[in-house]
Amino acid sequence: MNEKMTSIRNFYYYFYLQWLEFINDIFSIIFSTHNMDSVEEICDHVALINKAKKVLDGEINEVRQTYASDIYEIQYDGYFNKLESTLSSDYKIMEVQENHNNTIIKVEVLNKNVLSNDIIKRFSQYGNINMFRKHLPKMEDIFIKVVGETNI
């Protein structure tokens, strides 16, 4: 792709987003798209339609929370090997990135009785927690899941 054209497209896309933000205060806008990244970036509300039926409707953040699993991303100052041997079967490590004394872990909590505070307490024993957040699914993943369920 031509670099100059990419810059122009990016400029117009940014201009387009600014324009949408401005007119959103005045009008309601209805989009039809399969590009779920754009949905996350532009929209406040989503309605998914499959085979002429509305299969999902709601605020973007609420929908993402509803379809979230018990996966958390944790960044802490410390080494994973010290923590790993102490984790019980309540946790499933999905991904580990270590860079010197800084570790980022994606962990799934398998035990529904384990609360966010329990996770923070457990991990903070092995290093200072710099970031803790629940992993929210992308709208693309939700779209695939919901459409797959409604096609059965």
Please state the rounded mean pLDDT for residues 133-143: 93
Judged against a pLDDT cut of 60, whether residue 6 lies above it is answered with: no
pTM of this structure:
0.67
Residues of the chain with CATH 3.30.70: 71-134
3-state secondary structure of 99: strand
CA–CA dist 40, 38 (Å, integer): 5
Mean pLDDT across the chain, nearest whole number? 85
Please, what CATH class does the domain formed by 71-134 belong to? alpha beta
* CA of residue 26 relative to chain centroid, distance: 29
Please state the rounded mean pLDDT for residues 119-137: 91
CA–CA dist 29, 143 (Å, integer): 20
Please state the rounded mean pLDDT for residues 113-137: 91
Judged against a pLDDT cut of 50, whether residue 50 lies above it is answered with: yes
Judged against a pLDDT cut of 90, whether residue 29 lies above it is answered with: no
Residue 123, both tokens? 């991990």
Burial of 96 (0-12, 13-18, 19+ CB in 10 A): middle
| pLDDT number for residue 152 | 64
CA–CA dist 76, 128 (Å, integer): 5
Please report, rounded to a whole number, the percentage of residues in the chain having pLDDT higher than 70.
93
Judged against a pLDDT cut of 50, whether residue 43 lies above it is answered with: yes
| pLDDT number for residue 15 | 77
